[in-house]
Chain A
């Protein structure tokens, strides 16, 4: 099989992994050195595909042969897909060639399970080792970790990779048992735990050999089972706390060819995935707890963003006086982000904040107006019912992209 054919099959097979981030690596340079590659910690998206997702890494599977039978996965053993397998050299060559042409920032390598977990993991590590040691490649490497693999192999992976990830796949143990019969939530947690322990050891002993400097992440599939957003966010919160993950990625389930009867035929609304990312960002950046965003079972609102939803149900905190309030509370006002909250507090040291300042900071005035007090402004009707405010602020296309899906289903 030609390299081109393999690339076609194995890139197609890898696109269900949402992560393509290349940020968080330590600064590296190749100026005046053998080898290629540099990182500056920021990560660069080199292109975007028509699904709006960024291309930052060469994201491929080593092989889509897989002995597992995960129901949501196009590569499950019972799936009738064309199969292919790269050699170690082919992956290395593709990475270097793409990197030199400035298509990518590095490699994100995953694989179907072939023979055994250890064998598969060994192959992934061999590619990363060859890139680093033979080609002196200093770009970004993200390796998908096989949870059942020997901890020694995970340690070796962390030596070469910037980021390691273990996919939790589904938010509850019951769903994993049902939809991914060969996977096991216990071993997934143990693998994440062993990565966290290695990261902790490295943090305590800065001169020890490097270990996954960009940390670890995971992915959850949304809409392949019946779990609601409350369950998903609680699971994410548990994972963040327990394993110090850098990111949890949410991947809306995409219907797959000859889909088994155990998974839905239709995808969840893309807006649901978007809301989960927004809520996730509020948990990571703003200190929101999952329970604040969703106090009871159910899903996030599709028509308004989760911060606005929270503010509308907590009118007791508002209107907030921007000349008095703490930065963390200012950041909780809908329409004011972390950066603007910081800017407002800086400006406040020089003079009083006025309404026009917010316009110049490009805050969303429609959102912000009912929630703030400034030196020259107080909302006229701060007794307006939350329901009324919500209707005036709802986004008009809550079910983004669904029209086509319905036409096709018809």
Chain B
């Protein structure tokens, strides 16, 4: 390798010759070590005719420390930027990269910010290389050769604007598995034999024995997926730079498509060749087309308030219709709304623990909510529970009343203030007046405890434990009263 050679030339004050990023890196490290400022170095390079994969074995990233050469500390980010920018075909790239490195070494770390003048140039070089890589991933078109012709099965021709062939070859090695292929460019070619990449030197466009059946299908697809009613050729050309079109098979049919669409076919979205064919109406009666669905319960169709709009579904109560105890919560939450069942989320799990402690069997009680639809507001990408308004509680009392009439429980456990207001029908009822004090209402016992989500969010372990105890005590009481 030419590393030591570069060091020797530095000493002699001669121009530094480099072919590749690795050679530049070695030379730059030596120059920095000798405190040679950028203006004192003349970099010269030749077109890279070497083996594309000669340096592939060397680990990327931190420079290998060579005995006797000074350590240069640069950030990973700068290293990546330098390495990428080195692929950008601009005049004096090596000199510019050395200038950036020099400024960094002087402590000017904003040299990598696009707000810095050199940083802006470096950023635009990186961007141009990344862009070229992307374009090559996107716009290479393989053509298939006859199987008898032997490997490579697929061949492509591409004219990259920057030195990105080695990286791009890796991309296609991952994409094609054991299928063999070759990519030819004006500067170099690369072949994949199913397991390894080989440089094959400059080659002209692939042989003539090419099977074009796939290309014809592609053109049909390309023509048909275009919606003439949306013609916007400017936008299309904005996306694919003009230099690529000549090597894209669809490039040849674009002008005719644009003209046709502009000359009348824009009235409808359908491609002309499809529209001109005879069609078929499907003879099926509307009622036969209706999918089989469970008849919605009337609760599903409830429009007594607006809450149904943003909810997935109404969540009815669950439990035996002969239950002596009915537990009434506030409203379904995020999980309940998706599952269609009450108390399946975190609050429900806490409630289950409390019921276990109070020796209340979950299967023996009826669980429901005062409001049947989930009320929420967006917070970032989540749904945050929002307390239902009094009018929504009142609108939903229709459903709670019918559940009460059906189940006829001896005891109602009201979880929290909304439930208390709903079961007493008193919008001014407050939790603290009746907490832990069972009372009779319309011939039934009402036991009031905290709502489990209050226990989940109350701050401090002590407060949590205390609130949990109130809930367990209330449930125990309800069990006694329900016997």
For A252, the closest partner residue in chain B by CB is B230
Task: List the A side residues contacting B381 at CB < 8 Å.
Answer: 240-241, 244
- Contact pick for B269, options A47, A74, A102, A193, CB 8 Å: A74
- A-contacting residues, B110-155, CB 8 Å: 110, 113-117, 120, 134, 137-144, 154
A30 to B179, alpha carbons, bound, how many Å?
10
A182 to B177, alpha carbons, bound, how many Å?
44
A408 to B231, alpha carbons, bound, how many Å?
14
**Counting CB contacts under 8 A, is B270 at the interface?**
yes
For A37, the closest partner residue in chain B by CB is B175
**Counting CB contacts under 8 A, is B8 at the interface?**
no
**Counting CB contacts under 8 A, is A16 at the interface?**
yes
Q: How far is the CB of B246 from chain A (nearest CB, A)?
A: 14
Of the listed stretches B199-207, B235-243, B363-371, B471-479, chain A binds B235-243
- B-contacting residues, A319-361, CB 8 Å: 343-344, 346-347, 350-351, 353, 357, 360-361
Q: Is the interface of A mostly helix, strand, loop or mixed?
A: loop
Task: List the A side residues contacting B273 at CB < 8 Å.
Answer: 8
For A240, the closest partner residue in chain B by CB is B381
Q: A4-B216, A52-B230 are in contact. List 19 more A-B contacts (CB 8 A).
A: A4-B217, A8-B274, A11-B221, A36-B175, A44-B138, A48-B236, A48-B239, A49-B236, A51-B227, A69-B286, A81-B270, A82-B274, A103-B218, A116-B292, A190-B313, A237-B378, A256-B268, A344-B115, A408-B267
- Contact pick for A65, options B230, B261, B264, B282, CB 8 Å: B282
Query: Known contacts A8-B220, A102-B141, A350-B113: does B250 contact A47 (CB below 8 Å)?
Result: yes
How would residues 202 to 226 of chain A score, 1 for a CB under 8 Å from any chain B CB and 0 otherwise? 0000000000000000000000000
Of the listed stretches A92-100, A156-164, A293-301, A382-390, chain B binds A92-100
A96 to B412, alpha carbons, bound, how many Å?
63
Among A46, A148, A173, residue most surrounded by chain B Cβ atoms (within 10 Å): A46
Contact A401–B270 (Cβ < 8 Å):
no
A378 to B175, alpha carbons, bound, how many Å?
52
Contact B114–A66 (Cβ < 8 Å):
no
- Contact pick for B279, options A83, A148, A186, CB 8 Å: A83
How would residues 250 to 271 of chain A score, 1 for a CB under 8 Å from any chain B CB and 0 otherwise? 0010111100000000010010
**Counting CB contacts under 8 A, is B404 at the interface?**
no
A36 to B192, alpha carbons, bound, how many Å?
14
Interface extent on A, as a size class? 35 or more
Interface extent on B, as a size class? 35 or more
A selection of 30 A-B contacts at a CB cut-off of 8 Å is: A8-B223, A12-B274, A30-B177, A36-B177, A37-B175, A47-B250, A48-B235, A48-B236, A48-B240, A49-B236, A50-B236, A51-B236, A67-B289, A100-B142, A101-B154, A102-B141, A116-B291, A193-B312, A193-B337, A238-B309, A241-B376, A241-B378, A241-B381, A241-B382, A252-B230, A254-B229, A254-B269, A257-B268, A350-B113, A360-B117
A169 to B354, alpha carbons, bound, how many Å?
44
**Counting CB contacts under 8 A, is B407 at the interface?**
no
Contact A101–B141 (Cβ < 8 Å):
yes
Of the listed stretches A53-61, A309-317, A364-372, chain B binds A53-61
**Counting CB contacts under 8 A, is B49 at the interface?**
no
Q: How far is the CB of B294 from chain A (nearest CB, A)?
A: 10
**Counting CB contacts under 8 A, is B72 at the interface?**
no
For B334, the closest partner residue in chain A by CB is A242
Task: List the B side residues contacting A192 at CB < 8 Å.
Answer: 312
- Contact pick for A189, options B134, B229, B257, B312, CB 8 Å: B312
Task: List the B side residues contacting A37 at CB < 8 Å.
Answer: 175, 177
Contact A12–B176 (Cβ < 8 Å):
no
Contact B269–A15 (Cβ < 8 Å):
yes
A257 to B269, alpha carbons, bound, how many Å?
8
Query: Known contacts A74-B269, A100-B176, A190-B313: does B217 contact A347 (CB below 8 Å)?
Result: no
A197 to B224, alpha carbons, bound, how many Å?
37
